[in-house]
Amino acid sequence: MGHKPDGEREPVLSVRRLRVEFPTRHATLVALDDVSFDIAPGEVLGVVGESGAGKSMTGNAVIQLLEPPGHIAGGEIRLMGRRIDDLAEEDFVPLRGRHIGMIFQDPLTSLNPLFSIGDQLVETLRAHLPMSEKQARGRALELLTEVGIPAPETRLDSYPHQFSGGMRQRVVIALALAAEPELIIADEPTTALDVSVQAQILALLKRVCAERGAAVMLVTHDMGVIAETADRVAVMYAGRLIEIGPVKEVIGHPRHPYTEGLMASIPGLAERRERLYQIEGAMPRLAAIPPGCAFNPRCPHAAERCRTERPELLPAGGSRAACWLHDPDNPLPRRASAGDSQEVAR
């Protein structure tokens, strides 16, 4: 409610009040709770958070590859204005790869070891586009060239194990982009790679998406990657979206106490401190999310209201944050003890 699209153009992806549940023997776990965001054409949205915060889950929910028994239990997902969350599996299949591409964390395991990369490219192209085998091979060559595989004509019939990690991730990107999807979900695309290769892959991803005007949802726990690549950032905590805004704004002026702590704990972003900041405690398990604001037990500013009433995303400077500190009618006062951690990031 009261939530407006961030860009002026119609967003490629629009997620509203998304809820994902995992029924277990004991209880139903709410893995994603009330998550809403948009991604505009050509925009890169970074999604950050600790492991288990629901970043990857959000990506998997959008492309409907949730591990059973997880399922979408509420909310809406629209792709270029068309609702897709209620599509049956067989109606969703043609969307994958053609309209939504996905890149996974580990290039070593993303490619089927028993098929040559040419085979995998050709089958992907032909699954979506009316092409002959020969045309598809030609297009595959172009794609490999585009993602920077040297001497692609000799590598087309090679198998994945004959490539290095970075090269494999290039192949994965080529595969994800083969049918020119409008939205790319990149789930920790560089985490498994050598640091020296990470920047190249990110630059490549950014370039090919920009050339195609594709929107990117970049899931990562690495703020460095976000700072370098993303236009906007969404911060997740315990299955909830707690802050979203332009990259500079969120990094420079974090509005949610959790984001503040997160920024302060990152080396390089918090140069002025000799000791890195650490947020007390740990993120709650899904089975034990406290009522009210999920962050309240760890929050230096927490008041009674935070323990009973869950805040919506509220406008806060250039961003929006789900914190009662930013309630326009009745802002929660900051506690002094938390002051220094918030100074830090400035």
Partner 1 sequence: MLAFLIQRVLQAIFVMFVVALISFSLFHYVGDPVLNMLGQEATEADRAALRAQLGLDQPVVVQFWQFIVNAAQFEFGISYRSARSVSDLILERLPATLELAIISAIFAVVMGIVLGIYTAIQRGSWLSKFIMTASLIGVSLPTFLIGILLIYLFAVELGWLPAFGRGQVVDLGWWNTGLLTASGLRSLILPAITLGLFQLTLIMRLVRAEMLEVLRTDYIKFARARGLSKRVVNLRHALKNTLIPVITIIGLQLGTIIAFAIITETVFQWPGVGALFITAVRFVDVPVMAAYLMMIALVFVVINLVVDLLYYAVDPRLRVQGGAK
Q: What residues make contact with partner 1 under the rule CB under 8 A?
A: 63, 65, 89-90, 93-98, 101-102, 104, 106, 109-116, 123-124, 127-128, 154-155, 157-159, 161-162, 172, 175-176, 178-179
CA angle 314, 49, 275 (to 5 degrees): 100
Residue 249, beta-bridge partner list:
none
197 contacts 111 by C-beta, under 8 angstroms: no
CA angle 58, 210, 188 (to 5 degrees): 35
| Beta carbon nearer to partner 1, 110 or 319 | 110
| Beta carbon nearer to partner 1, 133 or 157 | 157
How far is the C-alpha of 21 from the C-alpha of 100, rounded, in Å? 22
Output the smallest distance, CB 183 to partner 1, in A: 12
Question: Which run of H or E residues covers position 256?
Answer: none
| Beta carbon nearer to partner 1, 19 or 98 | 98
Output the smallest distance, CB 102 to partner 1, in A: 4
DSSP assignment of 279-326, as one string? -SS-PPPGGGPPSSSTTGGG-TT--HHHHH-PPPPEEETTEEE-SGGG
Residue whose pair of structure tokens reads 């920077």 in the numeric block: 148
Nearest 5°: phi and psi at 180? 55, 60
| Beta carbon nearer to partner 1, 95 or 316 | 95
| Beta carbon nearer to partner 1, 115 or 277 | 115
Output the smallest distance, CB 193 to partner 1, in A: 15
Output the smallest distance, CB 175 to partner 1, in A: 6
Question: Is the backbone peptide bond immediately before 113 cis, with ω within 30 degrees of 0?
Answer: no
Output the smallest distance, CB 113 to partner 1, in A: 6
How far is the C-alpha of 207 from the C-alpha of 212, rounded, in Å? 9
Question: Using CA atoms in the order 72, 77, 82, 83, what is the torsion angle rounded to 10 degrees?
Answer: 30
By DSSP bridging, strand 13-23 and strand 71-79 are antiparallel
Output the smallest distance, CB 167 to partner 1, in A: 12
How far is the C-alpha of 246 from the C-alpha of 299, rounded, in Å? 23
Question: Which run of H or E residues covers position 230?
Answer: none
Output the smallest distance, CB 152 to partner 1, in A: 10
Residue 192 three-state SS = coil
| Beta carbon nearer to partner 1, 173 or 323 | 173
Output the smallest distance, CB 104 to partner 1, in A: 6
| Beta carbon nearer to partner 1, 2 or 113 | 113
| Beta carbon nearer to partner 1, 116 or 145 | 116
244 contacts 226 by C-beta, under 8 angstroms: no
Output the smallest distance, CB 185 to partner 1, in A: 8
Output the smallest distance, CB 216 to partner 1, in A: 15
Other Cβ atoms closer than 10 A to 282 = 10
289 contacts 221 by C-beta, under 8 angstroms: no
By DSSP bridging, strand 240-246 and strand 319-321 are antiparallel
